Amino acid sequence: MTATAQTELAGVFDFGPEHNELRATVRRFLADRSPEAEVRRLMETDDGYDPTVWRQLASLGLVGLLVPEHHGGAGSGCVELQIVCEEMGRALLCAPFMSSAVLATSALLHAGDEAARARYLPGLADGSVIGTLAITEESGSWSAQDVATRAEADGRGGYTLTGQKLFVLDAVVASLVLVLARTERGPGLFAVAAGAPGLAREPMATLDATRKQARVTLDATPATLVGPDGGAAAGLAAALDVAAAALAAEQAGGARRVLEMAVEYAKVREQFGRPIGSYQAIKHKCADMLLEVESATSAAYAAGWAVDARTDEVGVLASLAKAYCSEAYYHCAAENIQVHGGVGFTWEHPAQLYFKRATSTQILLGSPTYHRELLARRLGI
């Protein structure tokens, strides 16, 4: 285990004025365009997002944050992405951001295929194309080695894919589905267009309605290879590390919001003639939540910093952050319900929305148990 230089690390968390401005801009935008009523309205729709808001996010440069400038994006780093995700997590924004701006974009960026980057990234960056990444299958695994979907060369330079993908984020509204499929050489990444023959997308009924998921069935569906045949594993792992850092930041943002809700309520709700926040049982819950929220924030941004600095600790810190932030968010969201008591258990109260988002993000990209095992392996344990 290497000990990172302390003073160097201290700079990791020293956000500059441009970071604070980005955060303030996103927070204002989301307060305006993604209030709770909007979240609840979009939860009930099939598409699960507002195309107008999506275009506005794109025109603010947020959708193309990770895309290099010469492909029409902002060319920003992972830390900037995390600031945006943290705010989106706070606001429970319903939009295909994680699927398109993070997963599909990162997968293309790390696939080692400049032609594919030039072809797809501009559309992803300006929001005209919604992309998603389809990895998981019946096994529920986010690991490339578990992929069973088959890709066969069609003899004309293309491929056809056959198999079934599950839990694919925003697949129903995506116009570009990046599919992990296996050739005889190993797992490869393939681009499938929305209208391709043999492609079927059915929404799954999800616990967390703020982020849509679908079953994607491929039956001899034509596809274009992205990156090397059978050589997708390394690039995919790098893309998933970025996505894990982004999702961890989203979790940290959600966790901080539920802590604020719990504390606000504990100050005003009175029982036995005094605020419930004056009882140690409630205080200690809130203190533990703060410890977790602060630690989750540290873990998430350390992973983002490692991505941007291209240190050899990216994998270690990404798995550490995903495992820790998942459990921290889940615990805080559950405690927020408990602190609210009966009202926290109602449909009308937002506590349940955060609890469900905490649950879904805990599982997406691999559970805490999966990431701890990955962490141990990455450390050579």
291 is a site residue for another protein (CB under 8 A) = yes
Under 8 Å between Cβ of 49 and 88: no
Contact segment (CB under 8 A) with another protein among 37-45, 63-71, 180-188, 320-328 equals: 320-328
267 is a site residue for another protein (CB under 8 A) = yes
Nearest distance from C-beta of residue 374 to another protein, angstroms: 9
280 is a site residue for another protein (CB under 8 A) = yes
282 is a site residue for another protein (CB under 8 A) = yes
| Amino acid identity at 111 | A
Q: Which of residues 119, 150, 283, 331 is near another protein by CB under 8 A?
A: 283
373 is a site residue for another protein (CB under 8 A) = yes
271 is a site residue for another protein (CB under 8 A) = no
Contact segment (CB under 8 A) with another protein among 33-41, 119-127, 239-247, 289-297 equals: 289-297
The residues with which 215 forms a beta bridge, in sequence order, are 202
Cα separations in angstroms, 212 against 35, 299, 325 = 18, 27, 21
Under 8 Å between Cβ of 72 and 101: no
Output phi, psi for 154, to 5 deg: -95, 5
Under 8 Å between Cβ of 116 and 128: no
21 is a site residue for another protein (CB under 8 A) = no
Contacts of 164 (CB under 8 A, 6+ apart): 137, 138, 149, 215, 216, 217, 218
345 is a site residue for another protein (CB under 8 A) = no
Output phi, psi for 270, to 5 deg: -110, 140
**What does the block give as tokens for 193?**
């267009």
User: Under rule CB under 8 A, how many of the chain's residues touch another protein?
Assistant: 46
Identity of the residue, 38 or 292, whose beta carbon is nearer to another protein in the bound complex: 292
Nearest distance from C-beta of residue 360 to another protein, angstroms: 22
Nearest Cα residue to 325 out of 351, 353, 302, 350: 302
273 is a site residue for another protein (CB under 8 A) = no
| Distance between CA atoms of residues 66 and 56, nearest Å | 17
Contacts of 31 (CB under 8 A, 6+ apart): 91
Identity of the residue, 63 or 276, whose beta carbon is nearer to another protein in the bound complex: 276
13 is a site residue for another protein (CB under 8 A) = yes
Identity of the residue, 43 or 83, whose beta carbon is nearer to another protein in the bound complex: 83
User: Which residues sit at the interface with another protein, rule CB under 8 A?
Assistant: 1, 3-7, 9-14, 263, 266-267, 274-275, 277-280, 282-284, 286-288, 290-291, 294-295, 297-299, 302, 317, 320, 323-324, 369, 372-373, 375-376, 379, 381
